[in-house]
């Protein structure tokens, strides 16, 4: 009986050691998903000489707009790694920003790009509700492209996710 109890205690210790090793492996990984585990993690810097792009989005923080514009300019310059850094910084400043996830989907490689696109689609309803509340405060005549750009982009992103889900199934 004593041997059986000792053996059971030893088995419990081994099993708990295995789960703690898995937990240790997961330390340092993003709570937002595997797509965020790789890629740049440092703060971006303002770059000159990459051109000027303004891609208006709904945001509460003007710095988010600045980093998103830089990320889009870097995408057009085929500097995907630095574009990802700019879009990631947008998410640090405003975690629910769907357009930052969209930018990450354009900058990242295949599987990570699909994961980022799924995140953008999840957050698109928040953008639509934010733009609706913004339109009550700001006359749309002053900002004609405020909503017009995001809605087709979010809709096309949702369509790409649906198509990629059908092909992978």
Q: Is residue 16 part of a domain?
A: no
Q: Is residue 41 part of a domain?
A: no
Regions of the chain where pLDDT drops below 50: 19-27, 29, 31, 135-149
**Residue 20 three-state SS:** helix
Cα gap 74→50, rounded to integer Å:
7
Residue for token pair 């599987």: 111
Closest CA to 64 of 26, 46, 90, 103: 90
Q: Which domain holds residue 99?
A: 56-169
Q: What are phi and psi of 6, to 5 degrees?
A: -65, -45
Structure tokens at 63: 């710095």
Q: Is residue 64 part of a domain?
A: yes
Q: Name every residue whose Cβ is closer than 8 Å to that of residue 109 and which is 6 or more positions away in sequence.
A: none
Q: Is residue 13 part of a domain?
A: no
Cα gap 74→52, rounded to integer Å:
10
Would you state the pLDDT for residue 166?
63
Residue for token pair 């004593």: 2
Q: Is residue 23 part of a domain?
A: no
In terms of pTM, does the model score above 0.75?
A: no
Burial class of residue 141, CB neighbours in 10 A (0-12, 13-18, 19+): exposed
Cα gap 69→44, rounded to integer Å:
13
Q: Is residue 46 part of a domain?
A: no
**Eight-state DSSP code of residue 43:** P
Would you state the pLDDT for residue 144?
45
| Domains in the chain, number | 1
How confident is the model over 22-35, as pLDDT tens digits?
444 444 545 455 56
Q: Is residue 158 part of a domain?
A: yes
Give the CATH number, domain containing residue 125.
Answer: 1.25.40.10
How many CA atoms are closer than 13 Å to the CA of 30, on its beta-carbon side? Answer: 13
Q: Is residue 99 part of a domain?
A: yes
Percentages helix, strand, coil for the chain, rounded to the nearest 5? 70, 0, 30
DSSP codes of every residue in 119-155: HHHHHHHHHHHHHHHHHHHS-TTT-TTTTTTHHHHHH
């Amino acid at each position: 009986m004593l041997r059986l109890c000792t053996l059971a205690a030893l088995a419990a210790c081994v099993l708990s050691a295995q789960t703690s090793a898995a937990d240790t492996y997961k330390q340092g990984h993003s709570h937002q998903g595997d797509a965020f585990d790789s890629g740049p993690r440092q703060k971006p810097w303002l770059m000159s000489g990459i051109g000027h792009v303004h891609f208006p989005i709904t945001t509460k923080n003007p710095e988010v707009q600045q980093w998103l514009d830089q990320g889009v300019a870097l995408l057009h310059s085929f500097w995907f790694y630095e574009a990802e850094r700019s879009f990631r910084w947008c998410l640090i400043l405003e975690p629910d920003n769907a357009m930052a996830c969209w930018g990450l989907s354009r900058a990242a490689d295949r599987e990570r790009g699909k994961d980022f696109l799924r995140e953008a689609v999840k957050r698109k309803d928040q953008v639509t509700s934010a733009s609706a509340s913004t339109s009550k405060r700001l006359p749309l005549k002053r900002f004609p492209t405020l909503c017009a750009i995001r809605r087709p982009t979010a809709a096309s992103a949702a369509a790409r996710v649906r198509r990629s889900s059908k092909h992978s199934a």
